Amino acid sequence: MEELDIKLDYHSATPIYQQIAEQLRQLIAMEQVKPGDRLPSIRQLSHILKINPNTVCRAYLKLEQEQILVSRRGGGTSVKPQDIVSDVKAGRQKKLLENMNDDIIKSLSQGYSPEDLEAAFYLSLERWREERQSEINKPVETAVAPEKGSVIRIVGSHDLALNILLDLLRQKVANLETEVIHAGSLGGLIALQEERADMAGTHLLDEETGEYNYPYVKRILPGRELAIVNLSYRIQGLMVKKGNPHKIKNLEDLKRPDVTFVNRQGGSGTRVLLDLQLKKEGISPLEIKGYETEFNTHLAVASHIARGDADVGLGIEAAAISCGLNFMPMFRERYDLVIPMSNYKSQRFAPMLEIINSGEFKKIVNGVGGYDTSQTGSTTFIP
């Protein structure tokens, strides 16, 4: 296998063997190291990392005790294969539940509410999904079904509240299939126009009216009977590395030669918002280093900054929180779901609309940070 990407921080309070164990867990979780893969020997890895072999031995032993690694005499150390035998799977499930129960009890004892835990769980889960997708370089989507009508097809802007909605929906409705394509707000409305989507997620600010979504819907989908359901209001702002080492304060700082920006794709609501604000402040995109570097989701932008590949990007607060970034709020925007009336009135969409209006959904979304659900579920019908 390829050389393990392990970086040690000798100034950290975390012991070196624990740093190695934690980074190996992450590499396995991200599928960069796969079940059955053989790891470097203790002597090889200690030579690569320039540390004492006993330190590597302690890290390997810890992961063996957690049943992540397995060592065989003469066979070296490898990642434990994914055994399909039912009793092994049952044992793994039991261990997972025990781990989760321990964490839940600990968190509740510290004063966190069940809603706090749900919000943190979904936020962390979405970050892991995004990072796994970026590692394996696949299109960002949840599930795909080939036949129209057998799946709810959602095209539009990436949003964490939308992802939470779909997770809750899958829990509520058995055998539900969804297809999610992050094509940006404009791409979502065009997909509705071309009947390639059953619903679009959008947050497009109209320059002339200063209004969100409605002007674009009327221009792109004239004469269509539609329901525009508010999913949330959310905060957009500048996401920067923890501690804001470059002292970035506003959009004007994006012109500095020592600052590297990372952007959302053309047609996304965030990109439209950015370009309008740059125009308003007289800033040319050509003055911004990294303006042409594009990603399809807020989490991808935030992860790019967290890895040190860029210094700043425009995105939602929830993504910044998820990736441990500092956040400077700048804009409050409206995120809506645009649904053709035939779908809105159908039994297929009834459970989704019920969840949107539920107190559970609103509490979880509010707990994520950067969202306002005071208008969630409010609906406008067109024409």
DSSP sequence for 226-245 = EEEEEEEEEEEEEEE-TT-T
What global pTM score does this model have? 0.64
Check pLDDT > 60 for residue 139: no
- The residue type of 163 is N
Which of these, 138, 127, 48, lies nearest to 306 by C-alpha position? 127
Burial annotation 153-173 (CB, 10 A radius, 16+ → b, else e): bbbbbbbbbbbbbbbbbeeeb
How far is Cα 344 from Cα 340, in angstroms, rounded to an integer? 6
**pLDDT of amino acid 274:** 94
Least confident of 3-7, 95-99, 227-231, 307-311: 95-99
C-alpha distance from residue 225 to each of 78, 245, 289, 343 (Å):
58, 50, 43, 10
Residue 262 to residues 245, 285, 297, 303, 348, Cα–Cα distance (Å):
16, 12, 11, 11, 38
Instruction: Say what percent of the chain tops pLDDT 90.
Output: 52
**Segment among 114-128, 131-145, 156-170 with least mean pLDDT:** 131-145
Mean pLDDT within 105-125:
75
The per-residue pLDDT of the chain, averaged, comes to 85
Three-class secondary structure of residue 207 per DSSP: coil
The reported pLDDT for the residue numbered 140 is 41
Average pLDDT over residues 109-128: 73
- Residue 59 CA to residue 22 CA, distance in Å, equals 9
| Confidence label for 312 from pLDDT (cuts 50, 70 and 90) | very high
Judge contact between 304 and 310, C-beta under 8 A.
yes
Instruction: State both tokens at 167.
Output: 């997770």
Predicted pLDDT at 87: 43
Confidence (pLDDT) at 141 = 42
% of the chain surpassing 70 pLDDT:
88
- pLDDT at 32 (0 to 100): 81
- Nearest C-alpha neighbor of 202 from the set 255, 263, 269, 152: 269
Residue with the bigger pLDDT between 91 and 377: it is 377
Of residues 344 and 91, more confidently modeled: 344
User: Would you mind telling me the total number of residues written for the chain in this entry?
Assistant: 383
**Which is higher by pLDDT, 152 or 126?**
152
Please report the sign of the dihedral spanned by the C-alpha atoms of residue 233, residue 234, residue 237, residue 243: positive
Is the distance from CB of 145 to CB of 151 less than 8 angstroms?
A: yes
- CB-CB contact of 199 with 154 (8 Å): yes
